[in-house]
């Protein structure tokens, strides 16, 4: 499956990136495609474009705080989890049916 994702933790220093790494690693293991945008202390990195949104089947929000520019993903099926979930048990996230 083709996923896009946003990670965003409270201080934006560590967990944002750990969650991103975790999702990327797990997606690869499970044979999915994924592009992860991090919203951290350095701002937005690996920004998801309109094309990325068009070409994906679902978006994963692994966040503890509000997502910036969330309107980009209107209409796209969502999976909403916490940053901790993405770090602790990333496999189960890919088993959720997006809504």
Partner 1 sequence: MTLEYSFTCPLANGVHARPANNIEQVVSRFESEVTITNRANAKKANARSVLSIISSDIKCDEVCDVSISGPDEKEAFVSLQKFFEDDFEHCDDELETAESVADATMLPVSLINTGAKLYQGIAVSNGISKGILMNLGGFRVPQELEDQKDISVDDELCRYERAVQSVKDGLAVSLAGSHSKAEKSILQAHVSLVTDIELTDKIVGLIQQGGHNIAGAIRLAVSYFDDVLNKTGNPLLQERILDIQDVCDQLLHKVYGLSLQNDIALEQDTIGIADNLTPSQFLALDKSRLKGLVLCQAGTTSHTVILARSFGIPAITGIKGVIGLDRLGQPGILDGNVGVLVTNLNDDAERYFDRQIEVQKKLSQQNRQYLDSESLTADGKHLSVFSNISLSQECNSVFNDGAEGIGLFRTEMLYLASDEAPTEESQFESYRTLLEAAQGKPVIIRTLDIGGDKQVAYLDLPEEDNPFLGYRAVRIYKEYEALFTTQLRAILRASAYGKAQVMIPMISCVEEVVWVREKIEEVKSELAELKIDHDADLPLGIMVEIPSTAYMIDKFCQYVDFFSVGTNDLLQYFLGSDRSNKKLTSLNNPLHPSFLKLLRQIVEQAKRGQKWIGICGEMVSNPDWLPLVVGIGFDEISVSSPRIAEIKRRLSLIDSGRCAELVESLVSCETAAQVDQTVETFNANLFNDDILDEETILLDSSSRNKHEVIKEAVDNLYIHHRCTCPVQLESEIWQREQVYSTGLGHAIAIPHCRSAAVTSNSIAVVKLNDSVEWGSIDDKPVKIVIMLVIRDDDTDGTHMKIFSKLARKIMHEDFREALLNHSRSEELLEYFKNELEI
Residues near partner 1 (CB under 8 A): 10-11, 13-18, 20-22, 25, 38, 40-42, 64, 84, 87-88
Distance of alpha carbon 94 from alpha carbon 79, whole angstroms = 9
* Nearest-approach distance from CB 83 to partner 1, in angstroms: 8
Distance of alpha carbon 11 from alpha carbon 13, whole angstroms = 5
* Nearest-approach distance from CB 25 to partner 1, in angstroms: 7
Positions annotated as catalytic residues are 9
6 versus 20: smaller Cβ distance to partner 1: 20
């Amino acid at each position: 499956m083709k996923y896009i994702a946003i990670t965003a933790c409270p201080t934006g220093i560590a967990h944002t990136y750990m969650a991103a790494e975790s999702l990327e690693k797990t997606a690869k293991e499970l044979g999915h495609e994924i592009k992860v945008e991090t919203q951290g202390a350095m701002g937005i990195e690996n920004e998801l474009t309109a094309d990325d949104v068009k070409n994906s089947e679902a978006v994963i929000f692994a966040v503890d705080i509000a997502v910036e520019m969330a309107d980009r993903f209107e209409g796209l099926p969502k999976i909403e989890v916490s940053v901790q979930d993405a770090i602790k048990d990333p496999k189960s996230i890919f088993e959720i049916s997006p809504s």
